[in-house]
Amino acid sequence: MTLSESSPNTLHLCANNRLAMSLKQQAVQAQAETASETYRKVAPSLQALTIANWWQQWRDSVAFSGLGAVDYQRLLSDFEAVWWFEQALLEVLKRSEKQGEEIALLNPQQTAKQLYQAWQLSNEFLPEGWQEESFLNPENQLYKEVSELYRSQMEKRDWLDSVLLQKASLSLLSRLLNDQPKALKSLLPERIQLHGFDDYTPFLKQWLEIMTQAGVEVIEETPGDKQPQSTQLFAAQDIRDEAQQAAAWAWQSLQTLQAVQGKEAIKIGIIAPDMQLYKQPLQNALDEYLVLQGVQKFDLLKEDNKLYNLSLGQPLNSVPLVQNALLSLQLFLQPHKPYRFADWSQWLISPYTQGDLTKRQQADLQLRRLQWSQISLPRLLNECVDYLEDEERLLPLILPKSLLEALEAQAGVQYSGKLSQQAFIDACQETLNRMGWPGSRTLSSSEYQQQQAFWEALNSFASMQGLVREQTVAQWLPLLQSYIAEQLHQPQTKGDRPIQIMGMLEAGGQQFDALWVLGLSDQAWPRASNPNPFIPMHLQREHKLPRADGHRELLYARQINQRLQNATEQLVLSYPRFSGEAELLPSPLLSEFDGKPWQKAEFISLAQKAFNVQNADRQNDGLWSENSLIEWQLDDRGPEVPEGESAPGGSGILQAQSKCPLMAFLDYRLGAKYGLQQVEETLQSTNQGSMLHRVLELVWDELKTQTALIALSEGELSELLDRHLKTVFDEVHNTLSESLLQLEMARIKQLCWDWLELEKTRANFANFSTEQEVYITLAGIQFKVIVDRIDQVDGKALIIDYKSGKASINDLLKTPLQAPQLAVYLHALAQIGQESQDKFVTQLSGQICGIGYGLLHSDDGVSFSALSEEGDLLPGRGIKVFSKLAENEKSEFYQVQWEDLLQSLKEEVETLARQIQQGDARMQFAKETDVQYAQAYLALRLPEVRQQLKLQAEETNE
């Protein structure tokens, strides 16, 4: 029976809403093609419903007819039911604790969700009383106690949840069939046509059995009438490659199909077992490819502009507009509570915060200078905002007038005490309105839908009467955030899109002109079993609960595979060979398909297009005009640094130049490194290093010699460190909470203690200088160098550079030089000797016995990584003795003199300085990890560099 032949009293029962909507559209199209104009005007719509929608309609009809009703006081939503399970769980935990049998749970809220899932599965799949088994493990026992408490609460209040409502509805249907069969028949369809069901649940089986007993004809779904004329298999490099190939294939398929049928009738499917994993790569690939074909515009915010539709909804709390609303509520419902700077920064620079964006960005930049890890609204207004008065402020923070007025008004609002649910929602709406959310900018269509979805979610939350009656704002807010996180938002789109992206389940029962199934690796398909931990495993297997074991998942996957083969004539199956560095294998089920290898299509990205534009066929180019002649020129030199000027960043620019000249130019000479200061909740890594330097500087300024260090008792050493730590931490007491400061102080004290214990094991030494600032001139540029430490050992100098991160002396010996920041200390020491009038200092600066790193790391401990002229200078395995390297015939330093090595290092530093002075800004690096922390990372345009390297390699191979 075709859809156009379907009678009005036929129920088309669909596995999901998407399939129901698709069937209705097909019916309308069929009527438009075959029926007369008069009939089309009055033609009844197809009755295509999910089982949940049918139950709702039927219960309403039964109640309206007076035949009966499901009796209950209130129907709980799943969110409310999980909340009640959580309350029951907390009560059980409290009882156990009182009995001395404490149950440790990391996340009670997540546990409550699994308990509620067990409740639903138990009520539908398992026999009554299974909890009375003689042996129950602790998880089963916990479920038994929590579910009994939950059930008693439901019965006491005469409430139902979704699974109890289903059981009650089946009971009512069965009772009416026995007591009033004739009256019931008028409320049932004549026949039921099933669509898209891969598996029948127990409740659905009971319903179908009752329908059959009532005389309703049940028509099982027949396999699709399409057979794959072409099945192809593709092993992609990774997910990105897989998505790009699917995008190119979708466009090619669309062009082919448009030649034989109208665009509105075309249906190209892209599906995957885990579509959440492929959602973003697919969107990126399709947007990029379709823009380059000239069929989509760059303005991708306009949903109407796209040729594809993504059915996978996203959590409402992941939408930027809603994120701003939730952040506003967090910051301003409790204005006197301090929050992280990251939250304030995100709120300030959001396009959905009211006021001029430029001023707000400037305010964010200014706030970063204070390095406050936490900020409250009163503190912001009292200490930072410039009211154009004579009072002194820490910063002249000038905010947009409308925003400042809103902040001042909100600062005076107090939602104290306990609030009802409605009062809390009213407070939320008042706060958002007062703060001008979502800004003054005109919203796009999709943004408007997001705003409406949020308001609807607030109203829906307010209507829930199954939660606690009254509680504080601090208690309501996380509950609202959890609720918003569980709401899925699916933007409404206009018209039919020829390319449909969906999950495996949504594709059930649908027919496609062409279909690509992604992600069929052995880890994804069949799906891994995921049994509920609170139901005995033998019962899950015996009663075939969803996701119970691998065998059930294998059968389920094979059933879906068969359905997909009957759903299209053009089928492509693919999997990624790599996920990160992990190698993946194809799903064993792919061997059941008789397919040919997919011929990989050429996917040209926007970056590749820009690089290859000289060779593009401009007559068929949708992106570049015919007259846009582009001449490519090599431009890898910036302006020279004038003689006598200071190098930006001191010796840091030398390190950057050695890794990548363009990175050094962008980060230091153009100032990308000095843009936004980072504000962290703990001490920044740079601050941690600075504080370690400062404490050790104060310690050695006081001790002077190793002898003085060894003479200290443990108590005296502890007192010495405490005193200097207090001096250092007093400088940052306003930036962090007291508890974090104490933790950081204890951590740094332990590092310093371990380091000084290591220093006691060295050969006898005296400290010559700490943190000495030296100005040196290299290639006509002045560099500011701060030498962490110089020790005197037997009349010779030992240079030590403290590092709180990773560092190795091997970098000093590599060609080209990889540790110029260490080698430049040789120039600094020579400069110290030249400037001093003291003969001892002059002599010391010319005699160097070693150079290297002092490593202080919380995880790896303390150690030296250094190069010494002779042995026994420093303890540990990280010491390289140059005299031994010079004696080794296999060493690259065989028969090299120590003085020659030091001179060579100084010359390499001068070469780097000369490159900087000459404006050398080549895009050149040894490996991509060398530039991964560049502040101007995006400006390095690595995708285009990869394409250049690829083309160069291809030309070389040819």
Q: Do 466 and 505 fall within a single domain?
A: no
Furthest-apart CA atoms within the chain: distance in Å: 118
**Bigger pLDDT: 611 vs 938:** 938
Q: Nearest CA to 104 among 89, 87, 85? A: 89
Q: Residue 795: in which H helix or E strand, if any?
A: none
Any idea which of 35-39, 487-491, 886-890 has the lowest mean pLDDT? 35-39
Residue 710 lies in a domain: no
Mean of pLDDT values over 183-199: 90
What is the band of 869 on the pLDDT scale with cuts at 50, 70, 90? very high
Q: Do 507 and 578 fall within a single domain?
A: yes
Task: Determine if residue 42 is left, alpha or beta; phi over 0 gives left, psi from -120 to 50 gives alpha, anything else beta.
Answer: alpha
pLDDT > 70: percent of the chain: 90
Mean of pLDDT values over 398-412: 87
Q: Nearest CA to 140 among 441, 527, 494, 537? A: 537
How far apart (Å, rounded) are the C-alpha atoms in residues 189 and 214? 10
How far apart (Å, rounded) are the C-alpha atoms in residues 789 and 701? 11
How far apart (Å, rounded) are the C-alpha atoms in residues 27 and 29? 5
Contacts of 225 (CB under 8 A, 6+ apart): 566
Mean of pLDDT values over 96-119: 87
Any idea which of 36-50, 577-591, 699-713, 843-857 has the lowest mean pLDDT? 36-50
Note whether 82 and 46 are within 8 A (CB): no
Segment 152-165, tens digit of pLDDT: 999 999 999 999 99
Q: End of a domain among 597, 620, 642? A: 597
Strand ranges, E, within 15-156: 48-50, 74-75
Decide if pLDDT at 710 tops 80: yes
Q: How many domains does the chain divide into?
A: 5
Query: Quick one: pLDDT at residue 455?
Result: 95
Q: Do 321 and 366 fall within a single domain?
A: yes
Decide if pLDDT at 618 tops 50: no
Q: Do 504 and 451 fall within a single domain?
A: no
**How far is the CA of 865 from the CAs of 197, 241, 303, 852, 900, in angstroms?**
66, 42, 57, 6, 21
Q: Do 532 and 572 fall within a single domain?
A: yes
Residue 635 lies in a domain: no
Mean of pLDDT values over 667-692: 76
Decide if pLDDT at 616 tops 50: no
Query: Quick one: pLDDT at residue 866?
Result: 95
Segment 55-73, tens digit of pLDDT: 999 999 999 988 888 888 8
Decide if pLDDT at 74 tops 50: yes
Q: End of a domain among 597, 618, 638? A: 597
Q: Do 66 and 79 fall within a single domain?
A: no
Contacts of 31 (CB under 8 A, 6+ apart): 4, 39, 40, 43
Q: Nearest CA to 762 among 849, 682, 636, 820? A: 849
Query: Quick one: pLDDT at residue 495?
Result: 61
Decide if pLDDT at 389 tops 60: no
Mean of pLDDT values over 159-188: 93
- At residue 698, what are phi and psi to the nearest 5 degrees? -65, -40
Mean of pLDDT values over 244-260: 92
Mean of pLDDT values over 706-729: 94
What is the band of 620 on the pLDDT scale with cuts at 50, 70, 90? very low
Residue 685 lies in a domain: no
Chain centroid to Cα 79, Å, comes to 25
- At residue 864, what are phi and psi to the nearest 5 degrees? -105, 145
Decide if pLDDT at 41 tops 80: no
Q: Do 32 and 153 fall within a single domain?
A: no
> Encoding tokens for residue 290?
């379709």
How far apart (Å, rounded) are the C-alpha atoms in residues 138 and 189? 47
Residue 629 lies in a domain: no
How far apart (Å, rounded) are the C-alpha atoms in residues 488 and 385? 39
- The label of the residue with tokens 């909100």 reads 410
Query: Quick one: pLDDT at residue 779?
Result: 94
How far apart (Å, rounded) are the C-alpha atoms in residues 355 and 359? 8
Q: End of a domain among 157, 179, 195? A: 157
With vertex at residue 313, the alpha carbon angle to CA 312 and CA 315, rounded to the nearest 5 degrees, is: 135
Mean of pLDDT values over 341-352: 93
Decide if pLDDT at 17 tops 60: yes
What is the band of 680 on the pLDDT scale with cuts at 50, 70, 90? low
Q: Do 126 and 215 fall within a single domain?
A: no
Any idea which of 195-204, 215-224, 526-535, 575-584 has the lowest mean pLDDT? 215-224
Note whether 146 and 82 are within 8 A (CB): no
- Domain extent, residue 173, equals 3-72+166-219
Q: Nearest CA to 220 among 198, 239, 244? A: 198
pLDDT > 90: percent of the chain: 54
The enclosing domain of 517 has a CATH number of 3.40.50.300
Note whether 450 and 352 are within 8 A (CB): no
What is the band of 633 on the pLDDT scale with cuts at 50, 70, 90? confident
What is the band of 691 on the pLDDT scale with cuts at 50, 70, 90? confident
Decide if pLDDT at 701 tops 90: yes
Mean pLDDT score of the chain, rounded to an integer?
Answer: 87
Q: Do 358 and 453 fall within a single domain?
A: yes
Q: Do 440 and 528 fall within a single domain?
A: no
- Residue 56 is given by DSSP the state H
Sign of the C-alpha dihedral computed for residues 113, 114, 117 and 122 taken in this order: negative
Tally DSSP H helices, then E strands, for the chain.
Answer: 33, 27
Residue 725 lies in a domain: no
Three-state DSSP state, 578: strand
Segment 535-581, tens digit of pLDDT: 999 999 999 999 998 888 999 899 888 888 888 889 999 999 999 88
Segment 260-305, tens digit of pLDDT: 887 778 899 999 999 989 999 999 999 888 888 888 776 655 555 7
Q: Nearest CA to 30 among 11, 17, 45, 18? A: 45
Mean of pLDDT values over 410-421: 88
Q: Do 824 and 926 fall within a single domain?
A: yes
Strand ranges, E, within 87-215: 159-160, 191-195
Residue 749 lies in a domain: no
Query: Quick one: pLDDT at residue 572?
Result: 94
Query: Quick one: pLDDT at residue 42?
Result: 42
Query: Quick one: pLDDT at residue 435?
Result: 94
Query: Quick one: pLDDT at residue 734?
Result: 64
Decide if pLDDT at 100 tops 60: yes
Residue 937 lies in a domain: no
**How far is the CA of 878 from the CAs of 807, 817, 819, 885, in angstroms?**
11, 19, 16, 14
Chain centroid to Cα 114, Å, comes to 24
Q: Do 543 and 566 fall within a single domain?
A: yes
Any idea which of 329-333, 440-444, 619-623, 870-874 has the lowest mean pLDDT? 619-623
Residue 225 lies in a domain: no
Note whether 936 and 670 are within 8 A (CB): yes
